Chain A
Amino acid sequence: MSHRWISIFVIAVALLGNAASGLRAQTTITAATTTLTDGADATANGFTYRNQTLALDTFTAGGETYAVTGQASQVFVRRGSSGVARSHIWYETASNAGDRFGPYITNIEDAILGNNLNLGIHNMFANVGGSSANIERVDLIVSGGMTAAEGFAIPVLISA
């Protein structure tokens, strides 16, 4: 093999390696397994909160299966100094304007930090507009730290 072909081969391998690395952030989750737990209902603000948690146990992405290994213990909601400090929570409901499947939540931090697919945060980083909250950053912290082992992954799930 000539030096020219060796050079082309090396460059091609380097380019393929970079492409694979850059694409990983776009690896979509294609399947998941979940566990549903059901607590005692709560009534507040004219609604029934069924206190259900639909937790993500495993997911498949890029042909690999991932399982839960740990959870953050602290959450910090960092807001800017201008604008209105609001919170917006979306709830999956049993019917249009009906019961909320999730728990009654009294602090947005409890809606953010956790493992529940039937609720979430609306427009979390908006600064302007009616649904703005003036949040700039959300920190999900493991007290004492953790070792990021080979195969480590963080899923981020966005609602439509």
Chain B
Amino acid sequence: MNPQHESFSIALVTSVDGAGNPTGYSDLASTTSFTAPNIHNHDSFSIERYNAGNDTSGTPYTIFNTTFDQGPGGVIFTLDDFNVSAGSTIYGYSLFGFDVSTGGDAANLVDWTNSTYFPGNTDGGEGTAGGFDFSGVNGIFFRDVAFAVIPEPSVYGIGGIAVVVLSLFRRRRRSSLAA
């Protein structure tokens, strides 16, 4: 499948307080709606609703069961998307609905109760700022393997031989000059 996915926003956390609460953010990055191939196909799925905040231990209300393929597909974000330089210290990231804005200042992302930047009427309908489903892959960080190549032991060996040969050459040259 190659389904359509709705928009959302994301920002890197650039500072936190002692409890881990974000106190600073990078630029806000957003997607437009996108299509992406499923990286895992589902034969069927169910959605369960719980009415007790974060607590999901109680008996749920099943919104629906279906044989529709709910498999996830996605996009990636790199440091350029956040205007953050390589080597910077970050403290993770935050996810936002697509209707969240910064007003030109990323500091406005800190207070999620400010309805000027966090609208309290985000719609959950299909194709809207709140009408999409995240997968259970969150808070996982990746790196392009091209930047993480560890030299083979043979490379270290060749390097060591080169250093020895160069040292011998310079020593012999100094001896010749002295003579």
A residues near B (Cβ < 8 Å) are: 21, 24-32, 34, 45, 54-56, 58-59, 61-62, 64-72, 74-98, 100, 102, 105-109, 111-132, 136-143, 145-160
Q: Across the two chains, which residue of chain B brings its CB closest to A62? A: B76
A107/B29 in contact, CB under 8 A: no
Chain A interface, DSSP helix/strand/loop, else mixed: strand
Set of chain B residues within 8 Å of A68, measured between Cβ atoms = 140-142
Q: Which residue of B lies closest to A109 (CB)?
A: B54
Q: Beyond A100-B46, A115-B136, is A107–B57 a contact (Cβ under 8 Å)?
A: yes
B92 and A139 contacting across the interface, CB-CB below 8 Å = yes
Q: How large is the interface on B (under 10, 10 to 19, 20 to 34, 35 or more residues)?
A: 35 or more
Within 8 A of A (CB), among B111-134: 112-113, 115, 118-125, 128-134
Question: Shortest Cβ distance from B154 into chain A, in angstroms?
Answer: 23
Q: Given contacts A114-B136, A124-B134, is CB(A141)–CB(B143) below 8 Å? A: no
The total of Cβ contacts below 8 Å across the A-B interface reads 407
Check B145–A88 contact: CB distance below 8 A: no
User: How many Å lie between the Cα of A34 and that of B71 in the bound state?
Assistant: 14
Enumerate B4-36 residues with CB–CB distance to A below 8 Å.
Answer: 4-6, 8, 10, 12-13, 16, 20-22, 29-32, 34-36
Q: Are A113 and B138 in contact (CB under 8 A)?
A: yes
| Residues in B lying within 8 Å of A, measured CB to CB | 1, 3-6, 8, 10, 12-13, 16, 20-22, 29-32, 34-40, 42-57, 59-60, 62-63, 65-81, 84, 86-97, 100, 109, 112-113, 115, 118-125, 128-148
Contact A136 B134 (CB under 8 A): no
Q: Smallest CB–CB gap between A43 and chain B, Å?
A: 13
Q: Which of A24, A25, A85, A150 has the most CB of B within 10 A?
A: A25
